[in-house]
Amino acid sequence: MKRWACWLPVLFTGCVTAEYSRVSANEPVDLEALRSLVPGQDDLTSCLAVLGAPLDVREYQVDADRASGMALIWYWTNEAGWGAKASTVVRGMSVSFEFDWTGTDLPGCVLWFDRDLKLEFYREGMVGQLVAASRQPSAVDQ
Amino acid sequence: MRAIQSLLLFALLPFAGCVIARQDVNEPLPALLIKQLQPGTTTARQVAELLGGPNQVVQLGRRTAYLYEASSTKNAVLFTFLMNFGNQDTRQDRLWVFFDEADKLSHYGATYGTHRTQYAMPWEDVHEDSDNASRDAERAGVAK
């Protein structure tokens, strides 16, 4: 009884708060529809019809004649997690600490199209990793 | 002990509170107008006249792409004495239009989601298929 009672005044000041929250953004793509796409056969038209509009579009494999393919990127999140906030006063200054157990990279998929806008290949996974893995150094202009 | 716990819980009730907030960015995209776009015929100028200036223009080699987007976010937070419960739900309308080097529309893809956002608590699943379908039915040009 005495042990928890001595913490009560601290808690009443609102110094420590636990938090359970969910952040949900964008709709996940239909994975069944995604997996039904056939590289080499499907093209940009059929992929847009199946998956809708991507969140991001990037250049991919720019040739010397400036023709290029493109990468279409979808990502979403629906993550719930615990967090905690603590704040106190140290030497007259207000200091707060925040802990968040949710991740930073987001699940998603990337579709790469060749210069003729035929689906070259696609990947599912964490989008940050997929995009980083596909990044290639640009050619240096002489 | 149980009496003390009940008393404590009752004493904490006045400290509970809640906040709901909504943030919309841009107007929802006009689905019926977007259906007028015709690949192979519509030009970049006509798209701009129909939909206004895009939010983003991307150069893709010789091609270009315009992005039109709008978003809706609904936040609900329940504050209790030691625990806060929060939910943030964001959905977007997006339209990508792709033009060839002659500025003719070659492809487009649209997604509509701003009408699907909901206020909720974090333990709720707010995007069940039936929920989405009923909301789609109320928005012109979106229902499949």
In a domain, A43, yes or no: yes
Mean pLDDT of chain B: 91
Residues of B in contact with A33 (CB under 8 A): none
In a domain, A2, yes or no: no
pLDDT at A142: 43
In a domain, B53, yes or no: yes
CATH of the domain at B92: 3.30.1450.10
CA distance linking residue A29 with residue A92, whole number of Å: 51
In a domain, B59, yes or no: yes
In a domain, A7, yes or no: no
In a domain, B36, yes or no: yes
How many separate domains does chain B show? 1
Q: Which residues of B39-123 form beta strands (DSSP E)?
A: 56-60, 63-79, 83-99, 105-111
In a domain, A142, yes or no: no
How many separate domains does chain A show? 1
Does A95 or B92 have the greater pLDDT score?
Answer: B92
CA dist A28 to A46, A108, A109, A137, B64, Å?
18, 7, 9, 30, 26
CA distance linking residue A34 with residue A54, whole number of Å: 13
In a domain, B47, yes or no: yes
CA distance linking residue B91 with residue B72, whole number of Å: 6
Residues of A in contact with B67 (CB under 8 A): 57
Query: Are B67 and A45 a contacting pair at CB < 8 A?
Result: no
Query: Are B84 and A19 a contacting pair at CB < 8 A?
Result: yes
- Predicted model pTM: 0.82
Lowest mean pLDDT among A26-40, A92-106, B49-63, B108-122: A92-106
Residue range of the domain that includes B76: 25-116
In a domain, A114, yes or no: yes
pLDDT (mean) for B134-143: 90
Query: Are B94 and A19 a contacting pair at CB < 8 A?
Result: no
In a domain, B80, yes or no: yes
Q: What is the pLDDT along chain A (142 residues), one digit of tens a residue?
A: 566 666 655 555 557 788 899 999 999 999 999 999 999 999 999 999 999 999 999 999 888 888 899 999 999 999 888 888 777 666 777 666 666 555 568 999 999 999 999 999 999 999 988 888 765 554 555 4
Residue range of the domain that includes A52: 15-134
In a domain, A32, yes or no: yes
In a domain, A10, yes or no: no
In a domain, A23, yes or no: yes
In a domain, B79, yes or no: yes
